[in-house]
Amino acid sequence: MSKIIRVNMSNLTVTEEAVPQKYAAFGGRAMTSAIVADEVEPTSHPLGKYNKLVFAPGLLTGTTAANSGRLSVGAKSPLTGGIKESNAGGTSSQKLARLGIKALIIEGQAAEGKYYTVKVTKDGVTIEEENQVVGKGNYEAVKALSARYGEKVGVILAGPAGEMKLASANISVKDPEGNLRSAGRGGLGAVMGSKGVKAIIIDDADAPGVTIANPDAFKEAARVFAKGLMDHPVTGQGLPTYGTNVLVNIINEAGGLPTKNFRTGRFDGANKISGETMYDTIVARGGKPTHGCHAGCIIRCSQHYYDKDGNYKTSGFEYETIWGFGANCCVEDLDDIAEIDWHCDDIGIDTIETAVAAGVAMDAEVVKFGDSKGLVNLVKEIGTGSALGRIIGNGSVFTGKAFGITRVPAVKGQGLPAYDPRNVKGVGLTYATSPMGGDHTAGYSVATNILKVGGYVNPLGKEGQIELSRNLQIATAAVDSTGLCLFIAFCVLDNAEAFQAVVDMINAEYGLSLTGDDVTELGKTILRIEKDFNKRAGFTNEDDRLPEFFDEDVCAPHNTKWDFTDEEVDEVLNF
Amino acid sequence: MSKIIRVNMSNLTVTEEAVPQKYAAFGGRAMTSAIVADEVEPTSHPLGKYNKLVFAPGLLTGTTAANSGRLSVGAKSPLTGGIKESNAGGTSSQKLARLGIKALIIEGQAAEGKYYTVKVTKDGVTIEEENQVVGKGNYEAVKALSARYGEKVGVILAGPAGEMKLASANISVKDPEGNLRSAGRGGLGAVMGSKGVKAIIIDDADAPGVTIANPDAFKEAARVFAKGLMDHPVTGQGLPTYGTNVLVNIINEAGGLPTKNFRTGRFDGANKISGETMYDTIVARGGKPTHGCHAGCIIRCSQHYYDKDGNYKTSGFEYETIWGFGANCCVEDLDDIAEIDWHCDDIGIDTIETAVAAGVAMDAEVVKFGDSKGLVNLVKEIGTGSALGRIIGNGSVFTGKAFGITRVPAVKGQGLPAYDPRNVKGVGLTYATSPMGGDHTAGYSVATNILKVGGYVNPLGKEGQIELSRNLQIATAAVDSTGLCLFIAFCVLDNAEAFQAVVDMINAEYGLSLTGDDVTELGKTILRIEKDFNKRAGFTNEDDRLPEFFDEDVCAPHNTKWDFTDEEVDEVLNF
């Protein structure tokens, strides 16, 4: 019953095909990266008709496995020029899985200026010209589309930024409460916009659902897995209480919180934007301190942040966003950062890339560091399509070039997230070498460097970091293929039983007998596919480098520099 | 007596050193590329302190050889990210040569926001803080500096665009009449600006001059060479009469004049902007139809274009500029194009890159195709430092990305000049493969494809084009090392005696016994140095590709596509 659906936007046709044998064990990132690598000419223009945009639920998506509802999106990235997978929560992934759709491929390109809504149901796929929500903010669009197609449908959106083909445009996915989750990084929203696809509706009414080969074994493994998540201090306590923003105080204390466009690792105003402060604020205003981004999430790291008047302001208010527009821009006002987060979601733009771009723009004195109202206006500018908005909306490297700023924390064109690589060196190796560009999620060494999950590697030293980044990148590529939230890694790194339960769930669903080694091999396979695509696109080892200022400028409080040699960096993914 | 001078802008010190033996036979481009390749870390930021900006007169500069006064400027390019040499006329090169300076290297970086004027005399080099002309247009700056240091001094300027570190910023050089010549391509003005060098003054009062080992032989060879130039129809008649703009009608007739952002090869308004019309206009208004950009030029392809009121408007009004803001933007008003040329010179920005960027911006409807007043305003915007100005001023690829336009005619980040590669295929191979990025001067196959100089190779066919582009790129690298104007190639390609005279002049000056083969070997050596730098910077064969729309879109009037395979393209510089 599993199938791949192709939507050709050049001639507005839809075809279905069986999943080829070579993709049988693929889901999520494995599926998107394999299809992109097999079908997209690596040198083609990312916004041209030869790029393809691939949506894929994970191997476990659509089942009762906890936290298994992530949606992978893949394409050649307009931000990095390389292969990209970005994943998000929301309701669409589980609906695709229940419809038996292993991949939805958008290819070709609609006529200039035309937009369409692609509707996926159990009866097939239709393509309808879209006029109502083009040019509208995402919050309005998701409401209008839900009203049109039914409140229960899944909605996937290219926002105004995607329509403008900005290189930081994200893809937004409706969550269980009708708000927005983002496949944030790498500009995939611009690819969606370039195809002329404004929205994708997933209606799983009367869908066949997911078949489980061995239901009893699945149920038992799912129970062990869920118990593991609940029992682990990070996934059972830290994240549910404070959300990802629990990290502000932790990373600040560790001296790894990039401040003032990556000048130091400590921010004086950290406490004002911390998870603890945020929790108190949410509770005091009657917001929701914890909720899940998709059905079946038991970590529930998201929240509803309310404004001073007690009204909903934003959700999925992440550490990365709060760090980026906070410490990185020297802004201490959590309400202003929430306002910015809302605008980013509404415009459909990646908060990390936009925050890093804003820090660079502040170095050019477009807005002063610490000017939170100026920062709000700068982000709103993106939605207007003004020249300044287009500069910021094209990301950190673009902004640096526009203003002649050389202090641009980015790798492969993608701005670096919320951990200074000089003071959390394992993640620096991930930034440098991930085929995705500067990305923390690709191999979150912070877990072991700072949180002491999966052991401990001194964040300031070099010893053990190469192996740490390598192993985490391999494991992450595998996790990203399951549809499981990456945060389950905190648990499975420490709990061998929970790790085995993930393997057992896959085996029980598909009637397989994979081992842990097979999972490692899957991760390696994915990374090889991605590295090969990038190589064919023209990438070399010289693209696996941090910007030179990290080698030069000493970072307080540990007075460190980036000190890995090129040869050492090249060892990370040398397998 | 020959020396290399280093100016370190980080600590404001100057050192002199003898020319090392390995550079003894180098001048011009050979010298700048060798120094950049030897001393600049290829992955360093082009606007950072590790880049170096190198000025070098050619091997024959400072002698009485006709047309030998070109100045080479080299660095890692902020536009392409690769090695760059750009050369210009003006008076500075001959003054450097007469001072015995084979290379002037600017290294390091001044403190943020500080600008300096570097003054070079026979007594050495001084560095003076510059306040007067910072932020001023080039026309005003060159006047003020000439008034301060003496009318006879050479002046080299980073204009407002260079101060803003825009990737299309040129370096301007004062010409014999106090107007401006440009080392246009690749953003070298931004490198100069990033160093904190606003101006370089070359005062050759009481300079020792150039020593000629064998004066009689030199004199005879110089005579033969000059006679060759005068006798050739292109260098003796076409260029002196109509300037480079003689090409508008020729290339339009050949169907190779890129029109409306490279949509077709013919422009309906060609006659209104042609060299013939320009000549008549200049004569009718009392301008100068012909003059030289440096002392000793006998081709004299430049001119003084006057406005309707009979006042000087611009000089060095080139075919490329007129094509770019004319046919490429569907503009037919030569006076408006002259106005734009003046602004580009005054702001210090490359006319080709800016014109290609403007064509791309017109595809985004920033200004409508054909709106000549809108185009004037768009170019003036660059000088204001506005966000829109910074977008356009960062070139064609940047502009395409800003506005989500995929039709961007550029290679290695550099906009393509005035010959459609589909209809003049030899130059298409040069665009694709030159280490300089999309550049016609690097191997001007137009000469043989269209002007039937040096034989004839059918511009629409593939046969013979690979060898043509290769041989011309080799010859050009050598010519660019002599200080001779590239236009002498029209003559020496047809006239073996004139070619030998160039070799004889070099031998007579330096007491050498080079052969024609040695000159070829010099050209190959330079290209190898440049390709190796780019490789170390992370370039691969995938960077040697034309944009995909040339493979797709049929170009009128010959209904051609770009049809060289990647393997064929890779043969061009495979030696």
Test B404 with A44 for CB contact under 8 angstroms: no
Cis peptide before B557 (omega within 30 of 0): yes
> Which residue of B391, B392, B405, B412 to mutate against A (max A Cβ within 10 Å)?
B391
Cβ–Cβ of B401/A402 closer than 8 Å? Answer: no
CB contact under 8 A, B391 and A386: no
Mean pLDDT of all residues in chain A? 97
Q: What pTM did the predictor assign?
A: 0.97
Residues from chain B that touch A391, judged by Cβ atoms under 8 A, are: 387, 390-391, 402
Q: Measure A228 CA to nearest chain B CA, in Å.
A: 45
Q: Which residue of B has its CA nearest to A385?
A: B403
**pLDDT at A1 > cutoff 80:** no
Residue A235 is classified by DSSP as: I
Q: Which two tokens stand for residue B352?
A: 């080709």
- For A306-350, write each residue's pLDDT tens digit: 999 999 999 999 999 999 999 999 999 999 999 999 999 999 999
Task: Band the pLDDT of B1: cuts 50, 70, 90.
Answer: low
The pLDDT assigned to B301 comes to 94
**Cis preceding linkage at B57, omega within 30:** no
Identify residue B461 by its one-letter amino acid code. Answer: G
| Counts of helices then strands in chain B (DSSP H, E) | 24, 17
Residue with tokens 């080799």: B474
The reported pLDDT for the residue numbered B85 is 98
Residue in B166, B387, B398 nearest the CB of A386: B387
In angstroms, the Cα distances linking A463 to A457, A458, A552, A563 are 8, 8, 21, 12
Closest of A379, A398, A397 to residue A389, by C-alpha: A379
ipTM at complex level = 0.95
- Selecting from B47, B401, B539 the residue whose C-beta is nearest the C-beta of A394 gives B401
Contact (CB<8Å) A398/B403: no
User: What are the pLDDT digits (tens) for B211-259?
Assistant: 999 999 999 999 999 999 999 999 999 999 999 999 999 999 999 999 9
Closest CA of chain B from A338, distance in Å: 26
Amino acid B460: pLDDT: 98
Kindly report the nearest CA distance between residue B564 and chain A, in angstroms: 16
Residues of B in contact with A398 (CB under 8 A): 398, 401-402
Q: Is the pLDDT of residue A439 over 70?
A: yes
> Residue A78: its chain B contacts at CB < 8 A?
401
Closest chain A residue to B169 measured between Cα atoms?
A404
- Section A408-435 average pLDDT: 98
Average pLDDT (A457-476) is 98
Instruction: Please tell me the predicted confidence (pLDDT) of residue A518.
Output: 96
How far apart CA B157 and CA B173 sit, in angstroms, is 6
Mean pLDDT (whole number) for A117-132: 97
Residue A399 has pLDDT above 70, yes or no: yes
* pLDDT above 70: percentage of residues in chain A: 100
Which of B522, B492, B519, B520 has its CA nearest to residue B221? B492
- Residue A56's closest CA among A80, A97, A28, A22? A28
- All residues at 6 or more sequence positions from A513 whose CB lies less than 8 Å from its CB, including other chains: A507
- Could you give the percent of chain B with pLDDT greater than 90? 100
Residues in A touching B51 (Cβ below 8 Å): none
A394/B402 CB distance under 8 A: yes
Taking CA atoms, B5 is separated from B13, B32, B121, B211, in Å, by 11, 13, 12, 19
pLDDT tens for B362-405 read 999 999 999 999 999 999 999 999 999 999 999 999 999 999 99
Predicted pLDDT at B247: 96
- Cross-chain residue pair A193–B404, CB shorter than 8 Å: yes
pLDDT tens, residue by residue, B476-496? 999 999 999 999 999 999 999
d(CA B463, CA B520): 22
Q: Name the band, by pLDDT with cuts 50, 70 and 90, for residue B423.
A: very high
Interface test with B, best of A166, A406, A549, A566 (most B CBs within 10 A): A406
pLDDT (mean) for B14-25: 96
CA atoms within 13 A on the CB side of A347: 31
DSSP string, B108-127: S-PSTT--EEEEEETTEEEE
Taking CA atoms, A236 is separated from A229, A288, A298, A451, in Å, by 6, 17, 8, 14
How does pLDDT run across B22-65, given as a tens digit for each residue? 999 999 999 999 999 999 999 999 999 999 999 999 999 999 99
Contact B190 A545 (CB under 8 A): no
- Average pLDDT of span A118-147: 98
* pLDDT of A249 above 70: yes
Check residue A190 and give its pLDDT: 98
A479: its two tokens: 């996790």
Q: In chain B, which residues touch A (CB < 8 A)?
A: 42-45, 47-48, 50, 78, 164-167, 190, 193-194, 386-388, 390-391, 394, 398, 401-404, 406, 536-540, 542-543, 545, 547-548
* CA separation for the pair B121, B5 (Å, rounded): 12
For residue B389, count CB atoms less than 10 angstroms from its CB and return exposed for 0-12, middle for 13-18, buried for 19 or more. buried
Q: Is there a contact between A31 and A102 (Cβ–Cβ < 8 Å)? A: yes
Contact between chains at B390 and A403 (C-beta distance less than 8 A) = yes
Size of interface A-B (CB pairs under 8 A): 89
3-state SS class at A93: helix
Distance CA A401, CA A522 (A): 38
Task: Find the CB nearest A401 among B388, B398, B548.
Answer: B398
